[in-house]
Structure 1
Amino acid sequence: MEHTDPTEHPRPLLRRPWTSLDGEWEFAADPDLAGTVGGIAFDRTIRVPYAPETPASGVHWTGPLNRAWYRRRLPGRAGDRRTVLHLGAVDRVCDVWVGGAHVASHEGGYTPFGIDVTDHLADDGADLVVRADDDPLDLEAPRGKQDWRDEPHEIWYPRTTGIWRTAWLEQVAARHIADVQWRGDPRTLRVDVRVELAVPVSGARLHLRLRTGERLLADDVVRVDGAVVERTLQVGDGGFDDRHRLLWRPGPDPALLDAELALVAEDGEVLDEVESYTALRSVEVGDGRLLVDGRPVPLRLVLDQGYWPGTGATPPDVAALRRDLELTRALGFTGARKHQKTEDPRYLALADRMGLVVWAEMPSAYRPGPTASARLLREWPEVVAAHRGHPSVVAWVPLNESWGVQEAEVDHRQRGLIRALAAAADALDGTRPVSANDGWETLGGGVLGIHDYEQDPAVLGERYATAADLERVATGRRPDGYLADLDRAGVAGRAVVLSEFGGVALRDPADEGWGYADATSPEDLLARYREQWAAVHGSSALAGACWTQLTDTYQEVNGLLTMGRVPKADLEELRRATLGEA
């Protein structure tokens, strides 16, 4: 089996050799929606996977784009192997043609999809054409922080149209492994695995190995008749050492179980081989705390919006993802809340290996309505499916601050959407808590996320000091008039997290950027940061908190780092303040 690095692979949890299609493609802008697949004039080039609005793309489009066209040549047939085209993310409605034939449509700008294009390839290849429609004025579309105006304003940033994540190819047999889903139980040291095949097979064998380092933990062979195989594997000896060393926990030395799977035909032919990984890790809420493997985990999180200078929502490379996680740890945080975007799967693979936790969030729609609800209910399950295999992901956030459900207090349909999105995460995963509507106006879920940009640390400390204080917050109206919980259900056993606070900017007075408060110097920023974290650490009841934010993001300049990842105050002093040591 050819080994691949999961932190470099665009699909870390199901890896085969792959070929990147990133690089120069032909491109055409079509703001009037007038082009046709055979008639559009490709009059420039673009550097994939960067969105055309970014300088890195080479296009640097300004204003509404509406529709983007892409074209490049695909290689010819790979013998008797099938060729699968993968698009990591295309915002927002995508159609694909190969050799002039329409082969796929996909709606949703934040999830990956693949297409078997073999039957449309000639021996010398075929033209691939991708069309992306993304109406900037469609406020019922899940769009995260993408602005609908020509220029970014307030908390909204430049748009991300078309291809914005890696495009790639892989060759597979007709009979191959299509998906692998894992669930590890740290209490019993058992691993459940579900393997889905592309087509039903008869009389084949599935060979599965689990390792940690050089130690072989499981070596299983099972006959396959059908398209789904489910197995339970016992790993370790059940003793004290294995119950400690084999578990994934946040921190510098998380344990991962590397997997090799082989599908072998009855005559001994190896049909498919893939690599994957999993972990023995549980996440639950107990006694008002987030528990990983049954033990409380300190939630010192940072809001991470995942934008970079020149490349926008797409990281410039894997090293940039690694650097963000290294800075997150260096600042004393135990993880990140990825805000209003889905992140590159390689970020999650790195977090898995670095022992940092991640809250996974659905990019919001802005205008309530049946169209927005239908779109969210369709795309959110795809987001859950794409993230659920990563042990670093410890919480789901389907909605933020009632964006797209602004009338939920009086509209039962919007309440129903909040509940339905939370229920979808439970149904498709069920191993992580949900913050159903993070910020305010939540319903149910295992996490009660509260956003509060109060700048007076004394007021902040008093507001969340004790369990009784949290109960008052959870049953009443906030100072801004919102209910923390639409049912006024109280804490009700949930972990209460101050999931946005801070937001202090340090900027040049001539700069048009903004924050929730302004520091006058690096020393002032550090002092404010230290005092606000001290108020959080003084609470006996909060399960954790999330500082806004890791980096400046365009005009929102309240990052601890500039958008170029330069610290605004002494890094070590910031770390000590995060830990409550200052």
Structure 2
Amino acid sequence: MKRITTLSFFMLLCWITAFAIPRAEYPRPQFERNAWINLNGEWTYSFDFSGSGLEREWFKSTGFDQKITVPFCPESKLSGVEYKDFINHMWYHRTISIPQDWADKQVLLHFGAVYYKSEIYIDGVFAARHFGGTSSFQVDITPYVKAGQTHNLVVYVESDVRSTHQPSGKQNLQFASYGCNYTRTTGIWQTVWLEAVHPEGLQSVQMIPDIDQQQLIIRPRFYKELGGKLEVTLKDNGKVVSKETVAANALSTVILPVKKMKTWSPENPFLYDVEFRVIDKAGNVVDEVKSYAGMRKVHIEGNKIYLNNQPYYQRLVLDQGFYPDGIWTAPSDEALKKDIQLSMEAGFNGARLHQKVFEERFYYWADKLGYLTWGEASSWGMDCNDIETARNFITEWTEIVERDRNHPSILIWTPTNEEFWPDRVQYPRLMQDLYKLTKVIDPTRPFHGTSGGSHIATDIWTVHNYEQDPAKLKELLYNDGKLMEAPKWEIQLMPKNIGYNGLKYTYQYTFPQYKHDMPYLIDEFGGIKWNPSQQMESAQNTSWGYGEPPHSLEEFYARLEGLVNTVLSLSDHVWGYCYTQLTDVEQEQNGIYYYDRTPKFDMKRIHAIFSKNPESK
């Protein structure tokens, strides 16, 4: 019998462990370190429907009486729980062991996302609080743990999706799913992990590709600045392209010349490898981070969006990012990649990632495969008039943009969807604040304040229209030399200073109108309902979609092609589209694919329709 070496045994153990832990892959592929521990897997939990857990000091727990599989939410099948009712309070527990060789390191506890408000406790001691259900965050738990020891980690979660004070996205606000609203997600729904970082380590970087000047600009931040150096190396398939060393402080800017630059695009999604090394005063390498960068530029000229200085027509699909067994959480890394591949096989060159912040691994695959994306937040459900709600949203949006701004696949930032000017003061204020803030955090991309709603501060103009007749759609979009604009409505307000005497003031709100000075896109259309069993009365009662469904497959193909050709025929005025949608989701039956990702249609015919560009209309 062949002897098993120590190395081969270790590799076998790693292989077994990787398959035992759900979502075992590294969760942050654009900022990767070697010293990390995945905390996914079996945790204990307890629901706290009365909200009395704090009073009962559950933060001191050493284990609850029920089990859940993290990172899947308790509503999902993959969590092992499948509790579908509202969960306003919930507690998690697991033990964490700190390796002995982390003794001189900062120990960081990372959460991919926890919906919505979370509090973190170590051995019963409060460590941090976070607001925001879709943004990633980290907690420095160094003061609360010791190397070589095991500690109790408790996570307390609060969520009230019906309060209007937190964005809920497509989570349904009734008991059961309805219309285009689906199963809720509560608590931990992305990977939880530990990381060891040297006190002088690299905290983050902003990478700005400058294809016009043939250079990559990098702005670093550090946990502590103690006089060390930062070495940055840019590689093309292992070959060094550029290398620079600067002082390790936040005032330093690294400028890497990139000769014979290879640009990133859907046609050629080339990525450079980037290596960061922090070197202390004594010359020791104290931190190493692996990353990558795509050299690409997105900008606007007139009514067109440009990619790498060329007009680029976007053929997008609406992607809700829901999964039958994981809800908001993909069952595997391969599932994230597969969704992009399915979209590309259907003829799309990108997606509007709708009412959900997708995890970093999705953007990684979009970067690798050459897939355009629009970054959006889960804005539905929040009251834009409420100042505290706006404050929470601004904080979460800041974290979203900072986390994802280095991904070349993201072309547009879209914080909200279908906001129709709920008031004349706070909503415009929120939109203007979001515009200014986003431009400070990331000046390299267009900002799209609200998709298909009232445009207060935006770089592009969008409309939503689900007219099912191609001829009528064309007339609605472009008639007598005018493009479809936002509607007007009247809002009646009771003046506070006159009490309840029945007098009312009526304000005629004239929405901002399109001035033909920016790109105009129809970023929701189609949504053709198709369910092969839709002729059955039961299916008619349970399924949902836009318009009267076709009566045959041939009628479906004809309507679909007619709608797409209509939009393409207006390319002098309408510079791109987003079709609803990639997959069915629960009762919504207007996907190109079924909810389980199997195809509904002849995908060759579907690809022939969606792969058309304006010049081939």
When the two structures are superposed, what TM-score results if normalisation uses the length of structure 1? 0.91
Q: Is contact 1:348–1:390 with CA below 8 Å preserved after alignment?
A: yes
SS in 2 for 1:57: coil
Superposition deviation, residue 413 in structure 1? 2.1
1:540-559 matches, cutoff 5 A: 540-559=572-591
Q: Is contact 1:526–1:569 with CA below 8 Å preserved after alignment?
A: no
Mapped to 2, the partners of 1:227 and 1:375 lie a distance apart of 27
Q: Is contact 1:201–1:227 with CA below 8 Å preserved after alignment?
A: no
Per mean C-alpha deviation after superposition, the further-off stretch among 359-368 and 322-331 is 359-368
Superposition deviation, residue 432 in structure 1? 0.9
- Please tell me the residue identity of whatever aligns with 2:203: A
- Please tell me the residue identity of whatever aligns with 1:502: G
Superposition deviation, residue 28 in structure 1? 0.7
Q: Is contact 1:464–1:541 with CA below 8 Å preserved after alignment?
A: no
- Please tell me the residue identity of whatever aligns with 1:71: H
The yes-or-no answer on 1:133 pairing with 2:146 is no
Mapped to 1, the partners of 2:229 and 2:510 lie a distance apart of 52
- Please tell me the residue identity of whatever aligns with 2:109: L
Corresponding residue of 2:360: 345
Q: Is contact 1:141–1:372 with CA below 8 Å preserved after alignment?
A: yes
Mapped to 1, the partners of 2:329 and 2:555 lie a distance apart of 32
1:146-172: CA deviation from partner (whole Å, max 9, x where unpaired): 122111122211111000001111111
- Please tell me the residue identity of whatever aligns with 2:140: D
Corresponding residue of 2:416: 399
- Please tell me the residue identity of whatever aligns with 2:588: E
Corresponding residue of 1:375: 392
Corresponding residue of 1:15: 32
Mapped to 2, the partners of 1:543 and 1:318 lie a distance apart of 33
State the identity %. 31
1:218-245: CA deviation from partner (whole Å, max 9, x where unpaired): 1112233x45531222111xxxxx25xx
Corresponding residue of 1:71: 93
Q: Which runs of 5+ in 1 are unaligned?
A: 1-6, 237-241, 479-484
Mapped to 2, the partners of 1:433 and 1:400 lie a distance apart of 16
Corresponding residue of 1:576: 608
Q: Which runs of 5+ in 2 are unaligned?
A: 1-23, 490-508
1:1-150 matches, cutoff 5 A: 8-17=25-34, 18-35=36-53, 36-38=57-59, 42-77=64-99, 78-122=102-146, 123-150=148-175
Corresponding residue of 1:249: 265
Per mean C-alpha deviation after superposition, the further-off stretch among 374-383 and 569-578 is 374-383
1:512-569: CA deviation from partner (whole Å, max 9, x where unpaired): 1110031333333222211111111111321100000000111111111111011111
Corresponding residue of 1:180: 205
1:416-431 matches, cutoff 5 A: 416-431=429-444
If you compute each CA radius of gyration, which structure gives the higher value, 1 or 2? 2
SS in 1 for 2:482: helix
Q: Is contact 2:244–2:255 with CA below 8 Å preserved after alignment?
A: no
Mapped to 1, the partners of 2:446 and 2:97 lie a distance apart of 44
Q: Is contact 1:441–1:486 with CA below 8 Å preserved after alignment?
A: no
Q: Is contact 1:199–1:227 with CA below 8 Å preserved after alignment?
A: no
Number of residue pairs the alignment of both structures matches: 554
Corresponding residue of 2:595: 563
1:66-108: CA deviation from partner (whole Å, max 9, x where unpaired): 1111111101342322221100000011000112211111010
SS in 2 for 1:274: strand
1:198-223: CA deviation from partner (whole Å, max 9, x where unpaired): 01211x12111001213311111223
SS in 2 for 1:420: helix
Per mean C-alpha deviation after superposition, the further-off stretch among 324-333 and 148-157 is 148-157
Mapped to 2, the partners of 1:27 and 1:176 lie a distance apart of 34
1:486–1:249 distance in 2 versus 1, CA, 3 Å: farther
Per mean C-alpha deviation after superposition, the further-off stretch among 301-310 and 458-467 is 458-467
1:137–1:474 distance in 2 versus 1, CA, 3 Å: closer
- Please tell me the residue identity of whatever aligns with 1:213: N
Q: Identify which of 300, 309, 313 aligns with 2:328.
A: 313
Corresponding residue of 1:4: none
Q: Is contact 1:338–1:360 with CA below 8 Å preserved after alignment?
A: yes
Superposition deviation, residue 381 in structure 1? 1.2
SS in 2 for 1:527: helix
Per mean C-alpha deviation after superposition, the further-off stretch among 104-113 and 34-43 is 34-43
Q: Is contact 1:142–1:375 with CA below 8 Å preserved after alignment?
A: no
1:114-151: CA deviation from partner (whole Å, max 9, x where unpaired): 11222322432101111111113211211111122111
Q: Is contact 1:85–1:168 with CA below 8 Å preserved after alignment?
A: yes
Corresponding residue of 2:254: 231
- Please tell me the residue identity of whatever aligns with 1:44: Q
1:508-547 matches, cutoff 5 A: 508-509=533-534, 510-511=538-539, 512-517=542-547, 518-539=549-570, 540-547=572-579
1:120–1:366 distance in 2 versus 1, CA, 3 Å: closer
1:199–1:227 distance in 2 versus 1, CA, 3 Å: farther
Mapped to 2, the partners of 1:255 and 1:494 lie a distance apart of 29
When the two structures are superposed, what TM-score results if normalisation uses the length of structure 2? 0.86
SS in 1 for 2:446: coil
Corresponding residue of 2:401: 384
1:523–1:197 distance in 2 versus 1, CA, 3 Å: same
Superposition deviation, residue 487 in structure 1? 4.9
Mapped to 1, the partners of 2:76 and 2:128 lie a distance apart of 26
Q: Is contact 2:488–2:511 with CA below 8 Å preserved after alignment?
A: no
1:380–1:558 distance in 2 versus 1, CA, 3 Å: same
Superposition deviation, residue 486 in structure 1? 5.8
Corresponding residue of 1:458: 471
RMSD: 2.0
1:466-505 matches, cutoff 5 A: 468-470=481-483, 473-474=484-485, 487-505=511-529
1:466–1:12 distance in 2 versus 1, CA, 3 Å: farther
Q: Is contact 1:448–1:491 with CA below 8 Å preserved after alignment?
A: no
